[in-house]
Structure 1
Amino acid sequence: MSGVGAIILGVGVGIAAWSVFAGLTCVGARRRGARWPMAVLSGALFLAAWVVWYIRDEHPFGAAGGVEDRPDSIPRDGSIDLGLAGRRLVRVERVEADADLTLEFSGGDRVAIGPGNIAPGSAPVPGLIGERCAAATCTEEGSLEIRFTNDGRIRVSHDDDVEAWELSGADGRRVISLPGGGVARWSPR
């Protein structure tokens, strides 16, 4: 192979690799709620997009989790802190068969809310994507409240017949609102 052929092959491989990473980053940006123009720009500048996502997802350089998880701490008002404070709501899904919707936060924590359990007066959930959680607490009776820094709130009351909501932490912790009231908690792995 001549020197020119090797250069052309090298440039072709580089463009193919860049295209793969750009395409995957574009898909990732769409899953995070970006509109098409911003998703395409994120794909074109994928290295910059990765750095921004890394910082926004609460991963300070070298740290694994960002925000300290405190699922078992109990604030003065008797509510249970779920350890979501400071994390951003990155995605909302309506695909699980037994959940009305699933909220995914930076760091991988997920909150599944059962069908029809969001209390009246809660903020429209899609409008909260990208917002940072100010506090997420539940009561021993099984009610849930997630407050955001833009003053948006999601409230879920316990359900007499089914599990109204469930927190699944990326670290293995789980908190579930039990039918009829109360919560069950599992510590991190």
Structure 2
Amino acid sequence: MADSLIIANTDSLNLLFKQLNNRLTETKPLMTEIAGIMYYGVSENFRTEGSRLPGGGWKQMQHNSRKGQILQDSGVLLSSISWTATATESVVGTNYKTAALHNFGGVIKAKKIVGSVKRKKDVFAMEQFFWMKWYESGKKDNYYKALAFHVHKTGQITVPARPFMMLNNDDYLKIEDAVVRFLKV
């Protein structure tokens, strides 16, 4: 029985394998769809302020005198997020200089500068910056005032991690579904 040979018409099977091979070499449409899913997921993180991610929402601002959503004061960070896709990868990212600080959190230590001769003491450049922003706001934006006092007291600003470059389980399921649909011949 081991010497038996079964010959069958495999034309249809060969055609399926050929189609599958073509699908696997022309993956740019799949990668583009995956990049779109990832981009949408990251955008949703801003809209929901991280509440769709494991661990719940983003930490609220300590000096909660600001109106609007967290990380969306100017919209620059959200608008800096972009996506690209090739035949082998899907990428969503940002080149905004403070994006990593907001995503992972961190501490910014203030640098001392020479203060006025009259007061005879050094001040923090960051503190002066926040006082300037408070003054420019017409002394109405108490957020900058609170930050100036905080820097004066501690000499630093601690930025809590507010992960926005993450996907949740639903996003991964959408990607899995896209791959399955793509592989169906």
The TM-score by the shorter chain falls in which range?
A: under 0.3
Larger Rg: 2
Relative to the length of structure 2, the TM-score reads 0.27
Structure number with greater CO (CA < 8 Å, separation at least 6) is 2
Higher helix share: 2
Relative to the length of structure 1, the TM-score reads 0.27
Higher strand share: 1
